[in-house]
Amino acid sequence: METNQSANKATTGRYRVKAPTRGGRRPGAGRPKGSTAMITGLTLIQAIEQQSNRPFEQLLAEGYSRAIAENNNKLRLEYERMILAKVVSDRTTVEVTENEDLVEAKKIAFAEAVAALTKTTTQDKK
């Protein structure tokens, strides 16, 4: 009888533990098997070009020009953010400006550091 009462206290007591309401596996959840791929940026651009019979770049430039002509600064800034994000992501490069002398100096410094480490480790073991 006491075990039954203690079980009731846990569920009807002052501090009830709530069942989780989110997360976990649910039957029927998720993407159905055999469904087609989601929309990609490329397929979206191709659909826009097909509907308008003009290249997407041309439509983009026209919209940007229209925003400038209408003095719509908010829209113009959105176009600029979008264009610059694409330009910056496409133009990210790394330029190596090291000459052979600098590379040799780094090799020597690395070899000296490794030698010093092995010397210290050997002395610690004695």
Longest Cα separation, the chain: 87
Can you give the pLDDT at residue 124?
57
User: For position 35, what pLDDT does the model report?
Assistant: 77
pLDDT at 77: 92
pLDDT in tens, 73-94: 999 999 988 888 877 776 666 6
Task: Identify residue 126 by its one-letter amino acid code.
Answer: K
Percent of the residues in the chain that have a pLDDT greater than 90, as a whole number: 23
Q: What 8-state DSSP symbol labels residue 65?
A: H
Q: Is 48 exposed, middle or buried (0-12, 13-18, 19+ CB in 10 A)?
A: middle
Distance in angstroms (rounded) separating the CA atoms of residues 105 and 23:
56
Say whether pLDDT at 110 is over 60: yes
Percent of the chain whose predicted confidence (pLDDT) is above 70: 75
Predicted TM-score (pTM) of the model is 0.43
Q: How confident is the model at residue 54 (pLDDT cuts 50, 70, 90)?
A: very high
Look at residue 11 in the predicted model and tell me its pLDDT.
55
pLDDT of residue 115: 82
Mean pLDDT on 40-46: 87
The residue that leads in pLDDT, 3 or 16, is: 16
